[in-house]
Structure 1
């Protein structure tokens, strides 16, 4: 099982960051997502909801199922639905927002576990952390700055 991880600090409060990302169906803060909706009319906080997001100008949709959602912990966990957008299996991802007392800032971490070909493990571990999550969190940072 491979593990990937990325974290950063935001100058905004945890409440402000969480309010922006808490709805699993609201992906407008992610600069690469051009369209997003929750299938079957479920809410973006309902466990089992499936998010369908179109990336950029492509016709490629990524589908992800919400596995856990906690306002108390300011986190949610999800998995990719088939067909997988990447050559990985059993991919479980968590996005978590934690308050930092010093300066009312926020610690945000994105982590995931997955299986893949052993020879590709380093590639996919780096890819998720630095090519996906780091870039999405930079988009969130820009969105919050307005």
Structure 2
């Protein structure tokens, strides 16, 4: 089982960051996601909701199913649905926002466990952390820095 992990600190409060990302169906804050929607009219906080996300101008949508959602603990967990967008299996992902008391900031963690070919372990753990999550969270930081 492989594990990928990325974390960062936002200058915004935990509530501000959570408000921006809490709706599982709204994923365009990630920057590289050009479109996202939920199947069957479900809510972005409803366990079982399936999100379709399109990266950039590609014609492929990546499907992800919400497994857990907590406003109290400010996290959600989801899984990739078939067909998998990457050559991995059994991928479970969690995005969590935690308060940093010093400075009233937000600590954001994004992690996943998954199976992949052993010779691709380093590639995929690095790819998710630095090519997907780091860039998505940097895009969110950029959005916060823009005038309202």
Taking structure 2 as the reference length, the TM-score comes to 0.97
**2:56 paired residue number:** 56
Which 4+ stretches in 1 moved above 3 angstroms? none
Cα RMSD, aligned residues only: 0.6
How big is each residue's C-alpha offset from its partner over 1:35-90, in whole Å with a ceiling of 9 and x where there is no partner?
A: 11000000000000000011111101110000000001100000000000000000
**1:137 paired residue number:** 137
**2:100 paired residue number:** 100
State the shift of 1:31 in Å. Answer: 1.0
Taking structure 1 as the reference length, the TM-score comes to 0.98
3-state SS of paired residue (1:140): helix
**1:13 paired residue number:** 13
3-state SS of paired residue (1:36): strand
1:1-146 equivalent positions in 2, closer than 5 A: 1-146=1-146
State the shift of 1:28 in Å. Answer: 2.3
CA distance in 2, matches of 1:8, 1:33: 20
CA distance in 2, matches of 1:28, 1:115: 27
3-state SS of paired residue (1:9): strand
CA distance in 1, matches of 2:33, 2:6: 20
State the shift of 1:130 in Å. Answer: 0.5
State the shift of 1:34 in Å. Answer: 1.1
CA distance in 2, matches of 1:72, 1:145: 26
State the shift of 1:138 in Å. Answer: 0.4
State the shift of 1:145 in Å. Answer: 1.6
How big is each residue's C-alpha offset from its partner over 1:86-141, in whole Å with a ceiling of 9 and x where there is no partner?
A: 00000000000001110101100000000000010011010010011100110111
